[in-house]
Structure 1
Amino acid sequence: MPSHPPSRNGATDSEIADIGREQRVIEAAADLLAREGRDAVTTRAVAVAAGMQPPAIYRLFGDKDGLLDAVAEHGFAKFLATKHVDPDPQDLLADLRAGWDLAVEFGLANPALYTLMYSEPTRAASPAFKAGMEILMGRLRRLAAGGWLHVDEELAAMIIHATARGAVLTWLSLPQERRNPALLTTLRESMVAAVTNQEPAVRDAGPAGAARALRAALPEQTSLSSAEQHLLKEWLDRLATEG
């Protein structure tokens, strides 16, 4: 008979206890990070704040880097929880602006956590980060399907992320007296101008806008074979980049 029988969800009592300890440590580290900055997040300080011995931190997270990765994932999950998903927004451009504003507001409200979240490129593999990206790509697919997207979806996502991160990190780097709200508004509107058309492109002459709209709707089509969809996507990609 095992010393730790599995619970109803398949986890042992020991595993459940570890999950609880992990969460306590992550919350303690996140609190230290917010109050005193990244340098304050040492294994000893976190252990004291979480009410346990330092060896327990190493057992749960491997090392300090493992702990910081867990805190960053906690940050992505916290940000994801703030996102409101409207599957059918009345105003697609307003929805895009609202999503950008939300990302920037989160960064400004959680400066140390935000900086940690985006300090390592490898954190793009975070499950919560990927879930957030799916929400963004959903917005971009709706824009493309409506003929509003000026560039392809992947480039649009990069522009949105670059302007939001740049806005947050630049704002945080400025002394209080130089923080002009016009910076945030200007960057947001520059992003909108870069990734969208002033009017839906499908109303204009030329194949590029129509190709983007059709390409966005292509995954929903079921009458084409895989080979046909692949070939059509190749043609649409080529047409969508013209001009």
Structure 2
Amino acid sequence: MDTRTRILHAAADLLARSPEADVSTRAVCEAAGVGAPVLYRQFGDKEGLLSAVVDFGFEQYLAGKRAAKPSTDPVRDLRDGWDNHISFALENPNFYRLMYSPGLSTPPDAAAEAHALLLAVLERCASAGRLRVSPTLAAQMVMPANAGVALLLITRPAIYSDADEVAARVREAIVTAVTTPDEPAGTAPPVGEVAVLAASLGALLRAQPESPLSGAETALLLEWLTRLADRR
């Protein structure tokens, strides 16, 4: 095990057991058997260490999401992703709290990857004609709601004693807000569902490796479709 990995293992272990969801660099150095200069050469400062620890702690969760095979129902995959997110947060509360800590001025890479994986599921929902808004706007609705519920369940367990029920109810409210009802295969969206059609066409266009349109024409069309999908 190299020095960097040894430090990350030590910091992750201390973080998981910390009642304050924080660790000191001195404690990490002692646990890893290294001096402070070694730690700072590897991570720059404490914030760099904590950001790397979050990425280290989230790796197993993200690896599972990367390896997950999409089902034939992207909306079901959206629900499953929500549930998996909540489960990870409840099982790893200190990593999760640190992930969204305002003390980290630079978000960990894990946060950006989690958002990208969510966006990919929403692109599939849009391609299937199941999204009411653009994938980008939908992601901006789903992720804050998912993270907010997870953080409240972690930090206020006495208030939200039935975690499964709370998470499921908020999940369904959000899914209903961003997706259309399930329709039989081959059924077109209702007449007048311009936003749904615009979101679907935008997703299909982004998924096409080649297009008869120029780059500028494609960008302009996507801008128009996003405006139609996200109109109030």
Q: CA deviation at 1:26?
A: 1.1
Pairing 1:30–2:16 present: no
| Per-residue deviation, residues 208-230 of structure 1 (Å, max 9, x unmatched) | 22111111111214221112212
- The equivalent position to 1:205 in structure 2, one of 191, 194, 197, is 191
Match of residue 121 from structure 2: 139
Instruction: Answer yes or no: is the 8 Å Cα contact 2:14–2:28 preserved in 1.
Output: yes
- The equivalent position to 1:99 in structure 2, one of 62, 66, 81, is 81
Give the distance between the partners of 2:43 and 2:33, measured in 1 at CA: 16
Match of residue 9 from structure 1: none
Give the distance between the partners of 1:38 and 1:177, measured in 2 at CA: 20
* 1:1-243 aligned within 5 A: 20-38=2-20, 41-86=23-68, 88-120=70-102, 122-124=105-107, 126-176=108-158, 178-180=160-162, 181-199=164-182, 202-206=188-192, 207-219=194-206, 220=208, 221-242=210-231
In the superposition, relative to structure 1, how do residues 75 and 213 fare at CA in structure 2: closer, same or farther (>3 Å)?
Answer: same
Q: CA deviation at 1:84?
A: 4.9
RMSD: 2.4
Instruction: Answer yes or no: is the 8 Å Cα contact 1:140–1:153 preserved in 2.
Output: yes
Letter in 1 for 2:196: G
| SS of equivalent residue, structure 1 residue 198 | coil
| Per-residue deviation, residues 186-237 of structure 1 (Å, max 9, x unmatched) | 1111111121111469421022221111111112142211122123223323
Residues 174-183 or 160-169, more deviating: 174-183
| Per-residue deviation, residues 131-182 of structure 1 (Å, max 9, x unmatched) | 3333211111110011111122112112211111111111112245851121
Q: CA deviation at 1:40?
A: 5.5
In the superposition, relative to structure 1, how do residues 52 and 231 fare at CA in structure 2: closer, same or farther (>3 Å)?
Answer: closer
TM-score by length of 2: 0.86
| SS of equivalent residue, structure 1 residue 52 | coil
Instruction: Answer yes or no: is the 8 Å Cα contact 1:136–1:157 preserved in 2.
Output: yes
Give the distance between the partners of 1:143 and 1:154, measured in 2 at CA: 12
Give the distance between the partners of 2:60 and 2:137, measured in 1 at CA: 26
Give the distance between the partners of 2:5 and 2:139, measured in 1 at CA: 31
Instruction: Answer yes or no: is the 8 Å Cα contact 1:104–1:168 preserved in 2.
Output: yes
In the superposition, relative to structure 1, how do residues 158 and 122 fare at CA in structure 2: closer, same or farther (>3 Å)?
Answer: farther
Q: Which runs of 5+ in 2 are unaligned?
A: none
User: Would you say how many aligned residue pairs link Structure 1 and Structure 2?
Assistant: 224
| SS of equivalent residue, structure 2 residue 180 | coil
Residues 30-39 or 162-171, more deviating: 30-39
| Per-residue deviation, residues 40-91 of structure 1 (Å, max 9, x unmatched) | 5111111111122233222322222221121122233232122155554212
Instruction: Answer yes or no: is the 8 Å Cα contact 2:21–2:94 preserved in 1.
Output: no
Q: CA deviation at 1:22?
A: 1.1
- Structure with greater helix share of residues: 1
TM-score by length of 1: 0.82
Instruction: Answer yes or no: is the 8 Å Cα contact 1:76–1:129 preserved in 2.
Output: no
